[in-house]
Structure 1
Amino acid sequence: MSNNETCVIDSVDLCIASRGGGQIRGTLRTPSDTEPSALVVVHPATAVPERLYSAFATYMAEQGFAVISYDYRGTGKSGSPKVNRSLRMRDWMDQDVPDVAEWAAAEFPKLPRFAIGHSVGGHALSLGSGVDGLLGMVSIASHAGVTATIPSLLERCKVWLILRVAGPLTGRVLGYVPGSKLGLGEDIPAGAMLEWSRWSRKPGYFFDDPSMNAAHRASQVTGPVLSIGFSDDPWATPQQIEAITDHLTAAAVERRTYSPADFGVAAIGHMGFFRRGLREGLWPEVVAWLREQERQR
């Protein structure tokens, strides 16, 4: 199917039970006039609602993929952050990501499967969560989120205030972090913020947290990995992206860094990959990489 061709797609709401309790809500999109050629699961970033991924998921369905997008528990449609106040980032990575991946594998047992992880979604994949049986995975702007490495002093101070002061304080007082008011995106559980805050102070991020066993887990991940970053991303610098991918010692990692000028847009940054302005430029690059993995299987 060509990049310019569109088709009618079917969209179904999902509700997946989590091994950690509660439910994960998302959306399954499939082409309505043909059988999907492969399955793609989009694992989201922290405090990013599923709706950010809807245009990209629709595009991928138009290209012939079955596509699943969703909200982590305690965010968006998957439950109140206050009710889920104790949920940590590792719970998203080690429970929600494999929960959705396993549901997808059971629902589409005959399809080749891929995963796309945005930021913390890419962290989960890099630690081996939700990767069983994948033909390949794509990591978007997924980096070691160490505050001290942010190049811009202004941005570094802003993130420091959120992760060290405002986020932990509101989390402890309210039971959740009002991300929408702090410029983070969606509201998130207090547990996630407190763990994020701790990791952001460590030079190796969660690789310096012994309880994560992160280096060993990453070394066990195999298969092809496409890791994408952007020259204008204020957080996910090439150095910090490679602080993750350098641990994928058993995987075949391809690193790409794009600039806004490559696609004639003003900015991409940390969130821009999934915006409609890159539909005709960058998104086909990912489709081509996925198709190449299908051909080589």
Structure 2
Amino acid sequence: MDEQTVENNAENASGDQASLVLGQVSAGAHRLTVRAAKQDDPGSPVVVLLPAMGVPARYYRPFVADLHAQGLAVVTFDVRGQGESKPSAARGVRFGYQSMIDDVDGVLDLVDAAFPPAPRFLLGHSLGGQIALLYAARRPDRVQGVALVASGSVWFGSFPGMYKFRTLFGTQLVAAASALLGYWPGHRFGFGGRQATDLMHDWARQARTGRYRLNGSTTDYEAALREVRQPLLTVSIAGDRLAPKSLVDHLAAKAGRAKRTDKHYTRAASGAKNLGHFNWVRNGGELSRWVRDWIAAVDSSVQA
């Protein structure tokens, strides 16, 4: 599925559960609007959903509805440069992985105010999963668990076969083009949306080295990840060429001390003819039940 198809599906997505605005996260010139689909019970677990690169939050409305139907409160927002967040990525607009990690702090401040008694979980898709896990490594006190859906390391060595070399060449080409142009015009190339240069350099560095060494950050994330203890749910998706299971495993292995629940979402489980990196969002009923059951098991272990 290309970027234009994702954008069209986002426009056509129905079931807008996340209509309540919790507030805004501000950092310099950046403004992120945070929305929530609440449950009647203020103690219901809260899932904070972090989108994939270049994917607007509204694309996830069907999955938000699925999660909400499972009794979960769901918080959504557009990451920097995407959807309704301001400003859009452009020449001179600077942000990378570390800025996105910092933004999660602001989102959770709003969650704390709106849902003070509720356990909090991060659920990230693709790049959103990387940011969720890095956040949990840096702030282990703020979340009870992390779910990674179609989310893996982009290290070229974890790709199968010839995809290794295609990934290495492609990611470094994107980084070079971003440096030359002052931003990545992914909306013109059908990959990744408009993105800031620093973000694409962080992404390309991890693809090249397999390690998280972030622009503008002094945190040793590789060491922090080794100390992660929050439970992990990892879900690979049938037909996903962008995040096959080998990439999911490489990312999860960085948090090797965490208790991991590993699942594979098949066409049979979803009831869909085709899945892949994006289509699962529109066929996520069974996956939302997996998330609910995993959260319930985490809560039970904490209370035991």
Shorter-chain TM-score category?
Answer: 0.7 to 0.9
Structure 2: distance between partners of 1:273 and 1:207? 30
TM-aligned CA deviation for residue 218 of structure 1: 0.8
TM-aligned CA deviation for residue 267 of structure 1: 2.6
Structure 2 gap segments, 5+ residues each: 1-14
- Which one-letter code corresponds to 2:147 in the other structure? V
1:49–1:16 Cα change, 3 Å: same
Deviates more, 1:109-118 or 1:22-31: 22-31
TM-aligned CA deviation for residue 282 of structure 1: 2.4
1:23 aligns with 2:27: no
Describe the SS at the equivalent of 2:83. Answer: coil
Contact map agreement 1:162 1:182 (CA 8 A) in 2: no
The percentage of counterpart residues that share the same residue type is 25
Aligned equivalent of 1:278: 284
Contact map agreement 1:150 1:235 (CA 8 A) in 2: no
Aligned equivalent of 1:120: 127
TM-aligned CA deviation for residue 226 of structure 1: 0.9
Aligned equivalent of 1:164: 172
1:85 aligns with 2:85: no
CA deviations 1:173-214 (Å, max 9, x no partner) are: 443222222222432112211221222111x23279995512
TM-aligned CA deviation for residue 147 of structure 1: 3.1
Contact map agreement 2:25 2:34 (CA 8 A) in 1: no
Structure 1: distance between partners of 2:90 and 2:53? 16
- Which one-letter code corresponds to 1:107 in the other structure? A
Contact map agreement 1:97 1:129 (CA 8 A) in 2: no
Alignment of 1:142-291 (within 5 A): 142-151=151-160, 153=162, 157=166, 159-160=167-168, 162-166=170-174, 168-169=176-177, 171-202=178-209, 204-206=210-212, 212-275=219-282, 277-279=283-285, 281-291=286-296
Contact map agreement 2:18 2:61 (CA 8 A) in 1: no
Q: 1:13 aligns with which of 3, 21, 26?
A: 21
1:148–1:92 Cα change, 3 Å: same
Describe the SS at the equivalent of 1:290. Answer: helix
User: TM-score, structure 2 length as denominator?
Assistant: 0.81
Contact map agreement 1:152 1:234 (CA 8 A) in 2: no
Aligned equivalent of 1:45: 52
- Which one-letter code corresponds to 1:144 in the other structure? S
User: TM-score, structure 1 length as denominator?
Assistant: 0.82
1:20–1:238 Cα change, 3 Å: farther
Structure 1 gap segments, 5+ residues each: 1-6
Post-superposition, which runs of at least 4 consecutive aligned residues in structure 1 deviate over 6 A? 207-210
Structure 2: distance between partners of 1:168 and 1:291? 45
Describe the SS at the equivalent of 1:177. Answer: strand
Describe the SS at the equivalent of 2:298. Answer: helix
Alignment of 1:64-75 (within 5 A): 64-75=71-82
**Aligned-pair Cα RMSD in Å:** 3.0
Describe the SS at the equivalent of 1:194. Answer: helix
Deviates more, 1:101-110 or 1:40-49: 101-110
TM-aligned CA deviation for residue 50 of structure 1: 0.7
Structure 1: distance between partners of 2:110 and 2:140? 13
1:242–1:148 Cα change, 3 Å: closer
TM-aligned CA deviation for residue 156 of structure 1: 5.7
TM-aligned CA deviation for residue 164 of structure 1: 2.4
TM-aligned CA deviation for residue 274 of structure 1: 1.7
Aligned residues: 284
Aligned equivalent of 1:293: 298
1:87–1:53 Cα change, 3 Å: same
Structure 1: distance between partners of 2:103 and 2:16? 29
TM-aligned CA deviation for residue 38 of structure 1: 1.9
1:265–1:249 Cα change, 3 Å: same
